[in-house]
Amino acid sequence: MTCGGAGPVVDDPPRVLTVMEATVTQAPPSVERALIVGSGSIGVRHRSVLEGLGVDVRMLSRRPGVGDFADVIEAVDSFVPGYVVVATEPDDHVAAVDRLAEAGFAGRILVEKPFAELAVEDPSDRFDWVGVGYNLRFHPAVLALRAAISGQRVLSVQGRVGQYLPDWRPGRNYRETVTAGQAGGALPELSHELDLVAWLVGPTTVLRGWTIRSGELDIRREDLALCVLGLPDGGIASLELNCLDRQPTRRLVVSTVERTVELDLMTGLVTCGDQVLHDRHVERNETFAAMHRAAISDGQGVCSPSEAITVVRQIEQLRSGPVTESAGGPVGDIGSQAGADGRYGD
């Protein structure tokens, strides 16, 4: 099959398991027990997904009366998990990993994204394996896009992701969420795109960036970010990340020397010209299930700490530099400077 006038398009890209398919296969015995550190909405989601995979799951929470354990040493010693998911607030991720190591845990760990608030040392040598929860790598539509551009020179990537922050977590005051606090903002909360571009096309460098607090939301960090990244073969990626779009949006358009492929993650549609490469809505838990299956087996495809720390460095770069005033609020412009290395996916 061809599109864009040249080259084959893979008809059957690598496919992740659906939740139903994943559920019927028992998890490997080495990770029969998993501990979730953190009892917020994302921790509850991880617990539900892992239980669906047949794993015995317990939760560690510092909140009184919530979770199965309140003390990390007790959880590690009495439950003896083989796999731990760190799903606390982003500014606590590194401390939570340290507490696990100090409690004697040395097994497999998945840390929610972003890996940290600031760039830190890679903790991989303290555990059997460490990964980071950029689950969109396991979205079937993303895999279809990756297969369609594999081995080609990428000239440009355009991406946009946005959703109105008060709609993110129904039933909760957005002002009380981590997104509105010092550890939040559009860049870390929507950093999937920074990870995905590097995973799809190779290491990226920050060329230019702007961060804006529009004044439309009561938050401490940016609600709109524009990023220009350099690609490995001389191409450019431009990304917009925002907490403002009233209609949720998540799109990527990738142009290579041979074709242009468009991805809409809200619908699961991937097209190349008039050809449809993928067209199926994917439930969020499906990507989490596929990520966890990889994490508790060989780790194939899961974001590494070094890749995630690169994303953290890039967020720091995009937020740095002189600040000027706009009609809507402060704007940061880093100008042009070299970015940090990023490593190609699996």
Nearest to 81 by CA among 49, 127, 20, 22: 127
CB neighbour list of residue 33: distance below 8 Å, 6 or more residues apart: 55, 56, 57, 58, 79, 80, 81, 82, 83
What pLDDT does 4 receive? 60
**Which of the pair, 38 or 331, is modelled with greater confidence?**
38
Domains of the chain in sequence order? 2-14+140-281+303-333 (3.30.360.10), 19-135 (3.40.50.720)
What pLDDT does 170 receive? 87
| Average pLDDT of span 94-105 | 97
Least confident of 62-66, 115-119, 142-146: 62-66
What pLDDT does 27 receive? 45
- Examine the pLDDT at 257 and tell me if it is beyond 60: yes
**Which of the pair, 63 or 271, is modelled with greater confidence?**
271
What pLDDT does 63 receive? 86
Query: Global pTM?
Result: 0.86
What pLDDT does 336 receive? 35
What pLDDT does 329 receive? 53
Q: How confident is the model at residue 219 (pLDDT cuts 50, 70, 90)?
A: very high
Q: How many whole angstroms separate alpha carbon 249 and alpha carbon 253? A: 13
Query: Do residues 154 and 198 touch, judged by C-beta distance below 8 A?
Result: no
Over the stretch 289-331, which tens digit does the pLDDT of each residue have?
Answer: 999 999 999 999 999 999 999 999 999 999 984 333 345 555 5
What pLDDT does 29 receive? 41
- Examine the pLDDT at 20 and tell me if it is beyond 80: no
Q: How confident is the model at residue 241 (pLDDT cuts 50, 70, 90)?
A: very high
What pLDDT does 102 receive? 97
The residue whose two tokens read 């998945």 is 110
> Mean of the per-residue pLDDT values for the chain?
87
Q: Specify the pairing of strand 2-3 against strand 205-212.
A: unpaired
| Average pLDDT of span 268-280 | 97
Q: Specify the pairing of strand 330-333 against strand 205-212.
A: antiparallel
Q: How confident is the model at residue 64 (pLDDT cuts 50, 70, 90)?
A: confident
Which pair of structure tokens corresponds to residue 139? 């979205």
What pLDDT does 30 receive? 55
Over the stretch 110-139, which tens digit does the pLDDT of each residue have?
Answer: 999 999 999 999 999 999 999 999 999 999
Q: How many whole angstroms separate alpha carbon 315 and alpha carbon 166? A: 23
* Element (DSSP H or E) covering residue 156: strand 154-162
Phi/psi at 176 (nearest 5 deg)? -100, 5
Coil, strand or helix: which one is 1?
Answer: coil
- Examine the pLDDT at 25 and tell me if it is beyond 90: no
- Name the β-bridge partners of 224: 212, 242
What pLDDT does 332 receive? 53
Sign, CA torsion 36/18/170/115: positive
Q: Where are the beta strands (DSSP E) in 182-341?
A: 205-212, 224-230, 236-242, 249-256, 260-264, 269-272, 275-279, 323-325, 330-333
| Average pLDDT of span 162-175 | 93
The residue whose two tokens read 């990738």 is 254
